[in-house]
Amino acid sequence: MNMDEHDALDQALFALPLEEAPAGLRASILLATAYRPSPAFSFLELAALGALGAIAIWLSVLLALGGGTLFVHTLETIGTFASRALSSTATLAWLAAGGATALWLSLFTGSQPLVVAPHRSGRRAGR
């Protein structure tokens, strides 16, 4: 083919095969985007597990440092505080209101479709 001709060069360029993408590229893109596995725990579940873990560690440290007396004393204090709080009508009312609100909000946000946040590069690309 005569490359001196303008059209011939264009044709040669258009006929040039695309580079072969490395194996597994498509799969890794999809795993990072559309088929990204959902996390095993939701944010709230993680927060609850974290709080429980922190309490367990705290109690273990108390047990290790102060022996049985300090541990039992702490448990008693927590128990007294909890029973006092739960026997108060006002506390129970607030707990019920909080639970009901959380339930009500979850009805609206529990099954939202995919949400994609705007990104800087997207704005640049859209110029």
Q: Applying CB under 8 A, which residues contact another protein?
A: 1, 3-4, 6, 9, 12-22, 25-26, 28-30, 32-35, 113-114, 116-127
Cα–Cα distances (Å) from 57 to 25, 49, 68, 102, in that order, read 43, 12, 15, 28
Residue 34 tokens, joined: 């559309």
Closer CB to another protein, residue 10 or residue 45? Answer: 10
Residue spans of beta strands (DSSP E) within 24-104? none
Closer CB to another protein, residue 39 or residue 126? Answer: 126
CA 64, 66, 70, 74 dihedral sign is negative
Q: In the complex, what is the shortest distance from the CB of residue 27 to another protein, in angstroms, rounded to a whole number?
A: 10
Alpha carbons 6 and 78: distance in angstroms, whole number: 86
Q: In the complex, what is the shortest distance from the CB of residue 46 to another protein, in angstroms, rounded to a whole number?
A: 22
Q: In the complex, what is the shortest distance from the CB of residue 109 to another protein, in angstroms, rounded to a whole number?
A: 14
Closer CB to another protein, residue 40 or residue 125? Answer: 125
